[in-house]
Structures are given as structure tokens and as C-alpha cells.
Amino acid sequence: MPLELRRAFVIVALVVIAFAVVWATRFDAMPPAQFSFQNGTDPKTLDPHRATGSPESRILFGSFSGLLQMLPAGDPDPDSGLQPMSPGPAVAESYDVSDDKLTYTFHLRDDAVWSDGVPITSADFVWSWTRMLHPGTACEYNFQLFSLPHAEAFSNGVVEIGDKVEVELWDRPFPDGRREDEVGEANIQNFPRGTMLYGQLKEIRKPPEPPKTDDEDANTDAMGRWQEQWLYVVDIAAMDGEDVLWDETTETRTFCADPVSPLADGDTERIHNVLIAFDKLGAMETPDDHTLIVHLDDPLPYFPSLTAYYPLFPVPRHCIEKHGMPMWTKPANIVSNGPYLVGLRRLRDRVRLVKNPKWFDADSVAIDTIDALSTEGQNTALNMYETGQLDWITDPPTALMETLRQRDDFYSAPMLSLYFYRINTNRKPLDDPRIRRAISMAIDREQIVDQVTKAGQVPAFSLVPPGIAGYQSPPGMKPNIAEAKKLLAEAGYPGGRGIPKVTILYNTSEGHRAIAEVIQQQLQNSLNIKLELQNMEWGSFLDKTNQIDYDIARGGWIADYADPNTFLDLWVTGGPQNSTGWSNTEFDGLIRQAAAESDASTRMKMLAEAESIWIEEMPVIPLYFYVGVNMVKPRVEGFFSSPQDIHPLQLLRLKEKP
């Protein structure tokens, strides 16, 4: 290397080092938060309608509020130490429910405002729930609102001749003020929407279906393009302000999503979609700014709890329409309505929450600043806890679990939650239920909970955890190596011979890896099934799982509410949380029938029957029922163990130093 080039290289290197030092010093100079906790991996999003998983939920429960919120109810259970929780007032001060349990009337508080001072109204919930259900949002929890009239059809994009529909023209505004139809580019944001028309669907014209090939992905793409070529004929209704005059037709127009569809002509207008007119058909009513009336098709006993769960939280329409998605969630832009605001987000480091002075109960919030640290390593988290950098850790080292359990700052209690392995039922040989049952029967769960997790977890052989009043799970498939070998032979793989290698996918975590390694060894020894292990960071893992691009994938589920349905309706055909490819019409029918059943005992029997089908088909292998495992500094008050491992940040207090 020439001397001049070496000198230049040294100078550049020194500048880079100096910049790094200044940058690091700048970060270190930031004053510490009053309270810090381990949040695991980086949250994938701060959008309540796009989030999934614990790293997101801890932030969202602190920064947003729903109609109701989960609050302590009664005294802790003397045996388990669990603090019961129930939905209490939040944005809504109170609510009434009709005798048939099909109509809820929520009374919003007068002083509920967004963090920028804009009032929160009943219309915000109509807009937010419509956004949550819209197919373009791709909310993985959209099924939680499917008991509202027309919600499921709206979310799945299903329309039939004669339906009252909405038509969204291809003129969505960009955040910078431009429009799609003006610049010839598609605005992929589904909210704000383009010009909306309403009317009755008169006709659907379809070109010939594309020919099938052996490539399933190519078939899916071809069918998607084919559906975009459909031509919709709609009798457009008159409008009176925001109200649709369904019986007054003004004109008949034709629409298509694909401007070059073979069915389109000069009169065909380009659109994004034709959907059921969900928010115009009476599922929700807003007689005034502080009253929200919600109608249900089914008498859901857990509906109040759903309104306290983050997918049903309101989102700020004025902020989203100004900045677009995902830019509205940047700390400089985000507007929220919870006890805390997002003050800082630094990737692979932390999310800082600061007290929201405009929250309706701000005077009760004792901690001004909270850091949610992106700390995945168990040993790293414990070291930070012991040195005072963390006040709460959510994932203590499994290798030290037996010792840590003896400490006074260790919290452990049963949870309504399940650790499991999803199975791609579309992929051979896992498409055969006999293979799935054989794998389940060959797993020694006792070894996993005794030698790996070590925190008191309970081996799981069924789907629904114990502890839900009035419900008893059917017997599951207990370990049975002889039966497992028999099933393998019946499926054409005697002694495991000829079975292709299978991969277990898990998100980066020492605990997930240790469990996968034990199962890898067990299946090799007992069934001669060879497993490969693959880990991915959280965002990529979620993408891979949602696309059903895996063999076996780690999963976990914490109850959204204290009812067996929260575990069972995950697996209905095409459900956004299913992600296994599994489908069973009898199972789907029982879940639908149970939702409509008002007799509690009959309903529970239907759900148990559905669980029996699930166990027999085994699209998912249950491994163990979680216990809540947390370590919390003695200076923290207001922390308690709960059935859903919910720990409201606004309830925490810090003892004053002596």
C-alpha cells in the first residue's frame, strides 16, 4: 500500500473511532430511567394493530389505553399467589350490557384525550376497529372482533351478489398530499383510504381461471392476479352526509382492481377493493361523542376483556393520516393515550417511556421514566439486574433456576399459557397426522421441565391450561414410544427409515435452543428422526412462521382472556394465528356453535369436543404450561403475579431510599 494511502487510511480510521466515541458518550450521557426492565428482543412494531408477542405488548399496554383495562380484582389466591384480574374503567368510565348479552353500551369519560390534547371520541373506536379489521392492515388478532355483524366477511374480503358494499377508488392520498391517481403510483397504506362509494353489489364478472401448475406458490400468485381482474357492477347509493341512503340508487358503475383486466373497458374505474360496508351497517353506533354502542352476533362472555387487550385499543386517526404507516409510530410522530408516551426508540437498545401528563389518571402514576431494554441474553440480563441496571427481568437463566427460585425477589406462579411447537401440515411427511402424533408421543416433557426449564412448568398433553372455571380438557396423548414407533411404521417409515430430515425453527433465545436440543436428541434416540435446528431474530422468525415457511416452529400463547376459546379459536381454518395450514371443518363448526351458545355448560362441552379433534389431529405439539417467571428488585412495589402475566406499569411504585 502506498505511504499516502496508508496515511489516508489511518486518518479515516481515527475519524471513525472519534465519531464512535462521541456517539457512545452521547448515549452514555443520557440520564438513566427511574425504572428499567428486560424486554427481550426489539419490538417489531409499536402499532397496536400490527403487533404480536410479549416485547410489543409490554410497550403497548403502557402507552395505549382501551375502552377498559385489566386491573387487580379481589385478594390474591392463597395457594398460588396469583392476583386475579378483571376489566375495569379506562377510556370508558362504565358500560351497560343488554339482557341477551348482544349489545354493549360504553360511556366514554369526558376528559379522555390523545397525548397531543385532541379529544378521544366514540368515532375513534369505530375508525380504529374498522382499520384493525381491514384486510390491508393484516392484523393477526382480527378474529377477536368477528362476532360483530359483517366483521369476518369484511376482514376476509368476501362479498356476494346483493350485498351492501363499500368501493374504495384508486386515489388514496400520500402523506405528502399527492394522490395515486395523479402520480400513477400506488399508495400501499390502507389508511387513510381513497374516495369511498357505497351501494349494492349487482354483478361480479370473472375471466377464466388460470391453469393449475405443480408450483403451489405460483398457483397462489396466479389466483391473486385473477381475482384482481374481477369486474364489479355496483348500484351506487345516495348519501346524506355520512349516512348511506341504501334504497336510493343514483347510478350503476363498474369497477376493477386491475386496470388492464380483459373485462375492463373505458367506463371501468380503478379501485383498491370492494368490501362489505362494515362500518355502515350498524355493528357500531355513535349517538354522541361519548357513547359507543357495540352489537354482537354472539353472546361472548369475555367481550369486556377483549376491549382491554391491545388489538382493540384505539389509534389516532389524525396522526396516522398525517404521517402514514409506519411513520406514525416513530417517537417524533407518535400520538398515544396511555399512562406513558414513547419518548425514545433506539434499535437493539431500548424503548424509553415517559409519563403522559394528559392520561386521565396521570396523578396516580408514580414513575416518570421507564426503559424497556432489548436484552435477549439470560446471563446478560441477570448481570445487569445484579449490578442495578435492571429492576425487573422477564427471562432469568434456566441454568440457575433452581438457585434463583429460593430468592425473595423471584416471582413464580402458574399462568394461563402454553409453550408448543407448530407443525407445517402442508409439508411432507408432517402432513400425515400419524407422524405428528408419533413425534408428540416420543417427547419426554418431564425431562424438559425438570432438566431444562426448571421453574415449575407443567408438562402439557392438551391445548387448554388447567385453571379455567367450568372447563376440563380431554385427555391428551401421553408419551408412548412403542405406539409412536407403530404409527411411524403405519405411515411408511418403519424404524424411522426413509423419513426426511426435519428442521425446528425458533427465535433467538438460550431457553428455546436448549429445549430444541433436548427434543432433537430424544427423537433421534427413540424414533431415529433426525432434526436440524435453526434460530432467527424475532422479526424474521415471525415472517417465516406467518408465511408457513418452516417444518416445525416454536410457539407460545398467553390467554387474551380467561376462557378456553382464547386457545381454541387460534386454529380455525385460515385463522391469522393458525400458521400451520391445518383445517378441519368439524372443528371450525364447533367453535362457531360454541360462540353462539348462551348456556355455559353446553358451550364448554362443545369447546372440549373441539379440543378432542385438535388433539387427535395434532397440528401443534403441546410441550408445557408456563409459569410466570420474573425477578423484581425489592425497591419495587405494586408488582404481582397474574394468570396472564400482565404487569401494569402504571401501578408500580419505587420505595424511597433510606
Give the pLDDT confidence of 519-562 residue by residue, as tens digits: 999 999 999 999 999 999 999 999 999 999 999 999 999 999 99
Cα–Cα dist 343/347, whole Å? 13
Amino acid 368: pLDDT: 98
Q: Are the beta carbons of 568 and 562 closer than 8 angstroms?
A: no
> Which strands, in side-by-side order, build the sheet including 284-288?
92-97, 103-108, 291-295, 284-288
Q: What are the pLDDT digits (tens) for 481-529?
A: 999 999 999 999 999 999 999 999 999 888 999 999 999 999 999 999 9
Is the pLDDT reported for residue 3 higher than 80?
no
Please tell me the least confidently modeled range out of 1-10, 62-71, 293-302. Answer: 1-10
Quickly list DSSP for 221-288: HHHHHHHHT-EEEEEEEEEETTEEEEEEEEEEEEEES-TT-TT--TTPEEEEEEEE-GGGTTSEEEEE
The three-class DSSP label of residue 616 is helix
- Residue 80: predicted pLDDT: 84
Distance, in Å, from the CA atom of 234 to the CA atom of 229, rounded to the nearest integer, reads: 16
- β-bridge pairing 196-205 and 164-169: antiparallel
What is the spatial distance between Cα 248 and Cα 243, in angstroms, rounded to a whole number?
12
CB-based contact 413:428 (threshold 8 Å): no
What percentage of the chain exceeds 90 in pLDDT? Answer: 87
Q: State pLDDT tens for residues 139-159.
A: 999 999 999 999 999 999 999
CB burial of 192-220 (b: ≥16 within 10 Å; e: otherwise) equals bbbeebbbbbbeeeeeeeeeeeeeeeeee
- The pLDDT score that the predictor gives to residue 629 is 93
Using the predicted structure, report yes or no on whether residue 20 has a pLDDT greater than 50.
no
The per-residue pLDDT for 16 is 36
Q: Does residue 59 surpass a pLDDT of 90?
A: yes
Read off the pLDDT of each residue in 475-486 and give the average, rounded to a whole number. Answer: 93
> For the residues 434-438, what does the mean pLDDT come to?
97
Cα-Cα-Cα-Cα dihedral sign, residues 641, 646, 649, 651: negative
Give the separation between CA 414 and CA 645, rounded to whole angstroms.
9
Neighbours of 178 (CB within 10 A): 13
As a whole number of angstroms, the distance between CA 250 and CA 440 comes to 61
∠ Cα 162 164 166 (to 5°): 130
Q: What is the pLDDT of residue 657?
A: 66
Query: In this structure, which amino acid lies at residue 109?
Result: R
- pLDDT score recorded for residue 29: 62
Q: Which of 579, 248, 197, 634 is nearest to 408 (CA)?
A: 634
- Residue 472 and residue 611 in contact, taking contact as beta carbons nearer than 8 Å: no
Residue with cell 395450514: 581
Cell 408488582 sits on residue: 639
Residue 25 has pLDDT above 50, yes or no: no
How is residue 632 written as a grid cell? 423484581
- CA angle 450-454-459, nearest 5°? 55
Q: Reduced to 3 states, what is the DSSP secondary structure of residue 498? A: coil
Give the whole-angstrom CA distance, residue 206 versus residue 164: 20
- Look-up of cell digits 376476509: 156
Q: Could you tell me the pLDDT band of residue 176, with boundaries at 50, 70 and 90? A: confident
Please return the burial class of 74, using the count of CB atoms within 10 Å of its CB with bins 0-12, 13-18 and 19+: exposed
- For residue 81, the model assigns a pLDDT of 85
Contacts of 625 (CB under 8 A, 6+ apart): 414, 415, 417, 418, 419, 457, 458, 459, 460, 465, 466
Whole-model pTM over 0.85: yes
> Which tens digits make up the pLDDT trace of 72-104?
998 998 888 899 999 999 999 999 999 999 999
The cell 446478560 sits on which residue?
380
Percent residues over pLDDT 70 in the chain: 95
Instruction: Return d(Cα 532, Cα 374) in angstroms, integer.
Output: 27
Q: Which three cell numbers stand for residue 86?
A: 378483571
Q: Is the pLDDT of residue 4 over 90?
A: no
Domains of the chain: 88-314 (3.90.76.10), 410-629 (3.10.105.10)
DSSP secondary-structure letter at 595?
A: H
Using one digit for the tens of pLDDT, what is the confidence trace for 207-249?
999 999 888 778 888 999 999 999 999 999 999 999 999 999 9
On the question of pLDDT at 324 being above 50, the answer is yes
